[in-house]
């Protein structure tokens, strides 16, 4: 199938075309990369989805939440795509569906599309390709794109860089908590959802939610937030409680930002960020393609490790070599 047929299939919302398009953008082959660029270019300016980044450590209930939340949205007539940025999946081969029971109902829903994390050797590569997959899902007419991450390394920041809203899912904590959640994540979260607010866990969930409400108040107010955001809320993914309220807040925040231009500004800044990422990556890739430069980099790296050369000075030497080579 040529690129223009593939683009048409994606635009018609055909799942097979979408799956093939994502496989194409995940390929590292240079001819595939060229086709992927042409495809993304052909699809630019199409419909917009609400891109929701979503993080939480294993066990907090992410798959249960995505399934309940996703089913609620498809029940309202919305089309939902679920993508993942999971650096650990390079080892397990796509952990979003590694466990067969994960999101079983949602994966059978004709209005849902679930795609595991691409297997790449490093997080940057996974994130770049996932961002393009988000754009493909958008072009295919999905209303909501959920981008899940388990929060290893810098994955949360990367996911926030491709999302309109960022959610953090937490489980009820025992005792006086707040530990375990990095401050940086609190700063990028728009809504914290304290899950498992049911049964015996309800009192602990309520306390945890109050603790985070207090902690969020101490953060510096952001211009792109209306009064009351960022906020912490209680949900039960298992009992399907609080999901509609959470969705209401997500929509309210999205509308507020759209009305004031923050939405567009954020997307514009994100586009520049990914442009710079691609350039950075491309430059590094080009360096490693040249055998002489690769050898020189290895030598300089060894000198830096041996302590005979400072990192900054070594980098400067390499950059000088590149300049002369031009």
Structure tokens at 208: 């945890």
Q: What residues pair up with 146 in beta bridges, in sequence order?
A: 52, 82
Q: How far is the CB of 92 from ligand GDP (least distance, A)?
A: 13
* Interface map 197-236 toward ligand GDP (x if CB under 6 A): -xx-x----------------------------------x
Looking at 114-122, 175-183, 193-201, 298-306, which segment touches ligand GDP (CB under 6 A)? 193-201
Q: How far is the CB of 200 from ligand GDP (least distance, A)?
A: 8
Q: How far is the CB of 136 from ligand GDP (least distance, A)?
A: 24
Interface pick for ligand GDP out of 60, 114, 160, 246 (rule CB under 6 A): 60
Q: How far apart are the first and last CA of the chain?
A: 39
Query: Quick one: which of 98, 59, 234, 88 has its CA closest to 152?
Result: 88
Please name the residue ranges forming H helices in the chain.
3-11, 15-26, 30-43, 62-75, 89-92, 104-108, 123-139, 155-160, 183-188, 202-217, 243-260, 262-289, 291-306, 311-325
Q: Is 63 in the site for ligand GDP (CB under 6 A)?
A: yes
Q: How far is the CB of 65 from ligand GDP (least distance, A)?
A: 6
Spatial separation of the C-alpha atoms in residues 270 and 160, rounded to whole Å: 9
Q: Is 53 in the site for ligand GDP (CB under 6 A)?
A: no
Output 98 or 153, the one with its CB closest to ligand GDP: 98
Q: Is 246 in the site for ligand GDP (CB under 6 A)?
A: no
Output 202 or 266, the one with its CB closest to ligand GDP: 202
Q: 95 and 86 in contact (C-beta within 8 Å)?
A: yes
Count of other CB atoms within 10 angstroms of residue 137: 29
Spatial separation of the C-alpha atoms in residues 262 and 268, rounded to whole Å: 10
Interface pick for ligand GDP out of 72, 238, 287, 315 (rule CB under 6 A): 238
Q: 167 and 52 in contact (C-beta within 8 Å)?
A: yes
Q: Is 195 in the site for ligand GDP (CB under 6 A)?
A: yes
Contact residues toward ligand GDP (CB under 6 A) are 56, 58-64, 195-196, 198-199, 201, 236-238
């Amino acid at each position: 199938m040529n690129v223009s047929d593939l683009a048409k299939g994606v635009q018609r919302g055909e799942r097979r075309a979408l799956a093939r398009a994502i496989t194409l953008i995940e390929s590292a082959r240079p001819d595939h990369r060229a086709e992927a660029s042409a495809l993304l270019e052909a699809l630019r300016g199409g419909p917009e989805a609400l891109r929701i980044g979503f993080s939480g450590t294993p066990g907090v209930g992410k798959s249960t939440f995505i399934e309940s939340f996703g089913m609620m949205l498809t029940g309202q007539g919305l089309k939902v795509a679920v993508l993942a940025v999971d650096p650990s999946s390079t080892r397990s081969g796509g952990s979003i569906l590694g466990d067969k029971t994960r999101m079983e109902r949602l994966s059978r829903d004709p209005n849902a599309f679930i795609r595991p994390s691409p297997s790449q050797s490093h997080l940057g590569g996974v994130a770049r390709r996932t961002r393009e997959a988000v754009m493909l899902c958008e072009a295919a007419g999905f209303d909501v794109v959920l981008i899940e991450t388990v929060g290893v390394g810098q994955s949360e920041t990367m996911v926030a860089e491709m999302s309109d809203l960022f959610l953090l899912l937490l489980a009820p904590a025992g005792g006086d908590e707040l530990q375990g959640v990095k401050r940086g994540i609190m700063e990028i979260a728009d809504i914290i959802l304290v899950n498992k607010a049911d049964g015996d866990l309800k009192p602990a969930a309520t306390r945890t939610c109050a603790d985070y409400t207090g902690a969020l108040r101490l953060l510096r107010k952001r211009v792109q937030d209306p009064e009351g955001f960022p906020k912490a809320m209680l949900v039960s993914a298992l009992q399907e409680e609080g999901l509609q309220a959470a969705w209401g807040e997500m929509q309210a925040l999205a509308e507020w930002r759209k009305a004031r231009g923050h939405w567009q500004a954020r997307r514009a800044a994100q586009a520049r960020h990914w442009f710079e990422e691609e350039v950075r990556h491309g430059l590094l890739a080009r360096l490693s393609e040249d055998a002489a430069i690769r050898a020189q980099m290895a030598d300089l790296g060894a000198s830096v490790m041996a302590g005979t050369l400072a990192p900054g000075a070594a980098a400067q030497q390499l950059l000088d070599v590149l300049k002369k080579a031009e």
